[in-house]
Amino acid sequence: MLIGFVALLCLAQQVPALDLRESWNLMQFQGPAYLAAGHERDAARENRAIGQSGLLPKVGITAFENHIDGTQKQPDFFGNSHTNDLNYASKSATLQLRQPLFNKQKMAEYRQGQYQAEYGEAVFDGKTQDAAVRLAGRYFDVLLAHETVKLAVAKLNSFNEQVASTQRRKQLGDGTITDVDEAIARRDLAQAELIEAEDSLVVARRLLQEYLGQAPDEIATLQDTFPTPPLQPDNLQEWIIRAGTDSTAIRARRLNVSTADEEVAKAKAGHWPTLDLVVGYTAADSETLSTQNERNRYASAGVELNIPLYSGGYVSARARQSVASRDQAEEDLNATREEIISGTTREFRGVQSGEARIHALEKAVKSSERALDSSKKGFMAGTSTNVDILNAQEQIYTARRDLFEAKLRYLLARLRLVANVGALGDDDIESANSYLGPRLSF
């Protein structure tokens, strides 16, 4: 444990380069959003002790010390008034233990505390998995932004070469001013796209830093090889069943309903009597007009019954309010269940269609490269125009960017799908991380 802590500390201090796995470790060590979720869970855990406290004994001490200084008028037998000076002290201390014997409200609070603690754990699990997905999304956004900048630079260089080529051809009498203007227009657009891509990269890095607490100097990008293994299970209905059973969001909503049920029981318990065991010990010293240095020491033990009769309608109104809140919690559970099913369906289809889209775009990149080569040969033979070459160049860079983005979307869809069924863990992060390798410097 100490070695792991030291390793994380060194990672947080240096952070020369990160991959997705290292980013996940760093976020757990110092990421503000993740740490906040942990504190929220710790606070929720205390609901167990808070709920249990209502069923345990309460011990307290009550003490006072008074000094009386004044006068007292008192008539005698004949009706004459006499004035007496009052000047004495009185002090007392009572130690009391109160143990609930029967209290439906406290019992409901105890059960409610258990559900609230479990709810906090479920919320933390959900936020942890959501944080992992969001971290991966921001990490991939940086990779995509960097790739976009790289392709934008390559496209700008290519168009610059095309501008120079058309200008030379025009000088030699083989080209036209239209070809030159068209090439310059594409070059200028590529310059604008590069500026936008560089801005997007700066923003993407800052958003990643927001999750990690600091920005890395290098991060790992996608490898050239990109396998797309089939989903296990490969049936959507099985994923939906798993989501309905294991989803952290649904589990949290169920616990919220249970908490609301206990709130109803607690509200209705206002009509029930309570019975407490009360044990006390009192020590009192006092002095009055008729007594001097009076000392009392006595213990007491007994039961105290409290029967509520009428509270102005508060208990009934509170019960109706809690029932309405419980019904709301049940509908929130139904809405969350539908949302999880929709999300699971979307991500399942995203993985399956993502695999097909990657293969299609890989073919598109190769065919675009062949189309560019054919356009250049056709231009030399007089069957293609300069615009055809520019269009082919535009198409090949678009296809390459789309392919890179499709790969990232595929990985993110797999992570989201597993998170929807509440099963996203370190092994899934490691699986996505295995697609990364080459380092990018900023």
Give residue 260's pLDDT: 96
Q: What is the CATH number of the domain that holds 331?
A: 1.20.1600.10
For range 334-349, the mean pLDDT: 96
For the CA atoms of the chain, what is the radius of gyration?
38
**Residues 65 and 212 both lie in one domain:** no
What are the distances in angstroms from CA 132 to CA 10, 208, 338, 364? 22, 12, 23, 32
Q: 167: which 2 tokens?
A: 């200008």
Residue 128's contacts (CB-CB under 8 Å, 6 or more residues apart) are 34, 37
Whether the per-residue pLDDT at 1 is higher than 60: the answer is no
Q: Are residues 288 and 360 in the same domain?
A: no
Helices 248-268, 104-171: crossing angle, 10 deg rounding: 150
Q: Is the domain of 87 the same as that of 183?
A: no
- The answer to whether the CB of 96 falls within 8 A of the CB of 62 is yes
Lowest mean pLDDT among 184-193, 279-288, 424-433: 279-288
One domain for residues 72 and 40: no
How many domains does the structure of the chain reveal?
Answer: 2
Q: Are residues 20 and 40 in the same domain?
A: yes
Domain assignment of residue 153, yes or no: yes
Note whether residue 205 is domain-resident. Answer: yes
421 three-class SS: coil
Instruction: Give the pLDDT score at 8.
Output: 46
pLDDT tens digits for 291-335?
556 788 889 999 999 999 988 999 999 999 999 999 999 999 999
Band of residue 93 on the pLDDT scale cut at 50, 70, 90:
very high
The residue out of 263, 292, 307 marking a domain boundary is: 307
Cα separation, 396 vs 187, in Å, equals: 15
Query: Tell me: the pLDDT tens digits for 152-189?
Result: 999 999 888 888 888 887 887 777 888 888 889 989 99
Residue 289, in any domain of the structure: yes
Residue 29 falls within a domain, yes or no? yes
User: Mean pLDDT lowest for which of 105-114, 376-385, 391-400?
Assistant: 376-385
CA atoms within 13 A on the CB side of 95: 5
Q: Give the other-Cβ count within 10 Å of 21's Cβ.
A: 17
What was the pLDDT predicted at 11? 43
Query: What local confidence, expressed as pLDDT, does residue 139 receive?
Result: 96
**Residue among 431, 394, 410 nearest 360 (CA):** 410
Q: 65 and 51 share a domain?
A: no
Q: Rounded to whole angstroms, what are the CA distances from 308 to 57, 219, 271, 311, 312? A: 22, 67, 6, 8, 11
> Is residue 317 located within the same domain as residue 301?
no
Model pLDDT, residue 167: 86
The least confident of 72-76, 155-159, 268-272, 429-433 is 72-76
Q: Are 286 and 142 in contact (CB under 8 A)?
A: no
Whether residue 73 is contained in a domain is answered as: yes
Residue 67 backbone class (left: φ over 0; alpha: ψ -120 to 50; beta: rest): beta
User: Would 285 be classed as within a structural domain?
Assistant: yes
Q: Which pLDDT band holds residue 203 (cuts at 50, 70, 90)?
A: very high
DSSP 245-289: HH-HHHHHHHHHHHHHHHHHHHHHGGGS-EEEEEEEEEEEEE--S
Q: Taking 60 as the threshold, does the pLDDT of residue 258 lie above it?
A: yes
Tell me, yes or no, whether 302 and 188 share the same domain: no
Q: What is the mean pLDDT of the chain?
A: 89
Which of 126-140, 147-161, 180-194 tops mean pLDDT? 126-140
Same domain, 228 and 348: yes
Q: Are residues 170 and 257 both part of a single domain?
A: yes
In a domain, 331, yes or no: yes
Tell me: do 198 and 51 sit in the same domain. Answer: yes
Q: Structural domain of residue 81, as residue ranges? A: 58-101+274-307
